[in-house]
A and B are shown apart, each in its own frame.
Chain A
């Protein structure tokens, strides 16, 4: 099978995976209704009206509004209506017709809300991921070339310590230290101008980047260790291969052996991880964005979960799944392109 056929097959399997994810996503948000026997619309609407008696008129209005906007059939609706609903749901998701939000951002199209949040998430996660990968690969290559050296032992201890620290704990610690104790950064704000659309784009961009520096630093500290360990182990494995021995026997200098022969082969497993990490750029980091109050995709999901805004959660889950599947396909194809030994 050639690369072209492999790509087509991978795209088809990707579509099937997406379809399965869509159905799973559909079931997930209706499962509470199927389990409890409470109508999905009642479930959603009641969750919004918790805590007080609601007038029948208002209750009926909200319920019908929800039903007509979301075309969500009742739990006891006929089979035909449910089948229509599933087909419409799949078509809508494939065409990004994610509907209008009902609660958190009432009346706003969900696709529009998501699109407005993506740049902020990208501004946070992309630099953090790229810096982590660069530091991780460079340091990992250095350590992998000289395993057991003093530098290797020291950096490995530090890296393992950083790797085992929970990211959210590190972030809370940094936030307390730099925003409350030393007041280098303000606790919140800065990004609001970006979200609201400031008249001066450059100023609001710089303002946002300044606010994002602290979360980026924490993400790099917590993230580079993983890349470093991966690169180090991969390089150590490659350094033991016969062709490295051959290269050394030919009389090549150590730098050529390391960077021309070993490094290229050792980086292959890292590439898959890098592409998958890039997928995370779009979807944001839920905990980081929640701790630093960054209005990205992750924070949107966090807010939607807190507010029990199921339609918004459903759309965000779908967006995350879609980007992950696309990244997986790209990773597989690029792996096949990079390594000619890979059999399809």
Chain B
């Protein structure tokens, strides 16, 4: 019986670390995130903090889905066919301000579309569809956008486009960019992480209750390999309440999930296995000595 256990342990020792080396499906093309057949799902939640009571209330949860049906690059033109949807679930409130006469959003929206990009002018970011979650604010990021992270000068583009810019008419630093890593869906991913602050009035489309002093905080993580938004958070003041919108990648077929978790688990199993094997051999040697 003990021999069988040790055999299983040795097999685990040999097999489990392989989880670490399994590579993702992403190719090393310019825009890996737009590979044909790529599927992404994000979970979103809108929470609202009432400063007068200091409590958060849940407004709704949503699920964003994106499927790249076709992606073709010919010369300087990129053509992408995609299907997308946003489903709102667990809905508590769809009116964001007291002045709202009707619900801001419908239960769901979906569609399929074909977009063509001229790569001579649009080479770093591909906005497939705008998502505003019922707000009249021009949010700078949404899940339905893919970045060409492999493109030369992409980091400079990120810095120039997002971390510097106009705030209430003045050109200044408005954010920080970090090269770091995070655990996404149980897998370690290298990311670009941005913390950016906008004056809400600079992004206001027609939001009447948006205060002049309101600042929009944006935290966004962009995958360094796929160029997709992994995590996104908006935090701003509207109608005397603090709105917090969180979006997080919840599923994809573009990289192996739980690789990091499995590596940690396998590491523990390896250590335990080594300990069991060492104990077994020590015991055997002791038994031999006793026999003598």
A→B interface (CB under 8 Å): 37, 39, 42, 53-57, 59-61, 63-64, 67-68, 73-74, 76-81, 84
Contacts and interface: CB of A to CB of B under 8 A. Distances in A.
Chain B facing A: main interface SS:
strand
A57 B171 CA distance: 10
A78 B172 contact: no
Contacts of A84: 180
A59 B201 CA distance: 14
Contacts of B167: 56-57, 60
B180 A56 contact: no
Nearest to A36: B54
Contacts of B181: 78-80
Q: Which secondary structure dominates where chain A touches chain B? A: helix
A306 B112 CA distance: 58
Contact of B219 (A55, A56, A74): A74
Contact of B182 (A37, A56, A74, A79): A79
Interface string B213-231: 1110101010000000001
Interface of B: 49, 56, 167-168, 170, 172-176, 178, 180-183, 191, 193, 195, 197, 199-201, 213-215, 217, 219, 221, 231, 233, 235, 246
Contacts of B176: 64, 67-68
A76 B231 contact: yes
Contacts of A42: 217
7 contacts: A59-B197, A59-B213, A60-B197, A60-B215, A68-B176, A77-B219, A84-B180
A74 B235 CA distance: 12
A113 B238 CA distance: 42
B4 to A, nearest CB: 39
B213 A55 contact: yes
B203 to A, nearest CB: 11
B140 to A, nearest CB: 15
A64 B195 CA distance: 9
B214 A76 contact: no
A64 B175 contact: yes
A57 B166 CA distance: 9
B195 A77 contact: yes
Contacts of B172: 57, 60-61
A61 B164 CA distance: 12
A123 to B, nearest CB: 44
Contacts of B217: 39, 42, 74
Contact of B213 (A37, A56, A74, A78): A56
